Amino acid sequence: MHLMEGPPVRPEAGGTASSRNGSPHSAPADASRAPSPALPPDHTQAILETTKEVGAVLKASGRPFALVGSVAAYAHGIPVRLQHDTDFAILREDAEVVTEALRERGVRIVDPPEDWLVKARAGGEQIDLIFSLAGRPVTAELLDRAQTLPVDSVHMPVLAPTDLMVCRLLALSEHHCDFGPLLPVARGLRERIDWGRVREDTTGSPMAEAFLYLLELLDVLPRRDGA
């Protein structure tokens, strides 16, 4: 597994002599740094390859886990574009065993300041091993409800649609409230989601209630009596 040990070293432009020798070809200091290239808009295949490799290691470890986040939505058949990372839910008590198994396979483990996940890098992509989803600890019951699905030909546990929607809604806040990515997930999975449990599990979250009301206005969900 190829590792990304850090940002690639970019060669200096030109290789000119320093200005101290009076060379007429000396470059100004800021010219020696090439502009950073923009990230490609779609990392989908690279993230899927990393997901498959990490998923295979986690399966071999024998510890329960489930794919979560955008890659989980992709596994459920939602045509999302993968751009950032791949996320796996694991039990906190399994973190040491799981990270050691990944380390033995050449995955670089990064200790973040947060205490609810472990970060790693492989194949140039970021991996999040999460113990707490939207402020709620990952439990054995949550992982037991996961569904085994093919992820680009490799089968692995994937967070169930209802749990996926609950976690996505509870992650919304006043500082991060983008309904756009959630709409195709809700539309695509609406017949596989227990919306009654979604409402129950997200009670008290104004962002979740606003999104569910929006789904009613868009006729994704039937309107409740008096709505």
Place of tokens 């919304």: 172
Q: What backbone torsions phi and psi does residue 142 show, to the nearest 5 degrees?
A: -60, -45
Query: Whole-angstrom Cα distance, residue 55 to residue 49?
Result: 10
Q: Where are the alpha helices (DSSP H) in 62-138?
A: 69-75, 95-104
Quick one: pLDDT band at residue 42, thresholds 50, 70, 90?
A: low
**pLDDT per position as a tens digit, 64-92:** 999 999 899 999 999 877 877 899 999 99
Burial class (CB in 10 A: 0-12, 13-18, 19+), 93: exposed
**pLDDT per position as a tens digit, 146-176:** 999 999 889 999 999 999 999 999 999 888 8
